[in-house]
Copies of this chain bind each other. A is one copy, B any other.
Amino acid sequence: MANSKLYKGSLNTIILKLLDEGGRMYGYEITQKVKEITKGELKITEGALYPALHKLEAEGLLVVEVAKVDNRLRKYYKLTEQGVKEKTNRLVELEDFIRNMEQLVNPKWTIN
C-alpha cells in the first residue's frame, strides 16, 4: 500500500468510507481517488485491493454490479445495509486508534 507499514489494516476502513461517500465506485476508481486525496502519498496496490473487495463482498458488506464502459469491464461496488453499519463501527475504531496513538506519541498531559 505505501512506504509506511502503518497503513496495514486500514484498507477495509478506507474502502467502506469511500463507498459511503461515493455511492458506488469501481476498483480502479478507488485507487485513483485515494491517490488524489492523499496527494500521491498513499497508493493502493491491486494485489491488496481486489482481494479486499472480494472479501468484503463475501462478508455481505458490499454488493457488486458489473458494467461495460468503452468496451472495458467495470465492477461497481456499493455498501449494503450491513456495510453501512460496519462502516460506522470502523470509523469509530479509527478515531479511537488515532486518539490512542496521539496519546502515546504526543501525550498532552502526564500523571507523573
Give me the interface of A with B, judged by CB distance under 8 Å. 3-10, 12-14, 17-18, 34, 37-38, 41-42, 91, 93-94, 96-98, 100-105, 107
Contact = CB atoms under 8 A, between A and B. Distances in A.
Given A9-B9, A98-B98, A37 B4 contact: no
Given A4-B96, A9-B8, A97-B7, A14 B104 contact: yes
B42 A100 contact: yes
B101 A94 contact: yes
How many copies the complex holds: the figure is 2
Contacts of A3: 93
A98 B96 contact: no
Interface hub of A9, A18, A38, A105 (most chain B Cβ within 10 A): A105
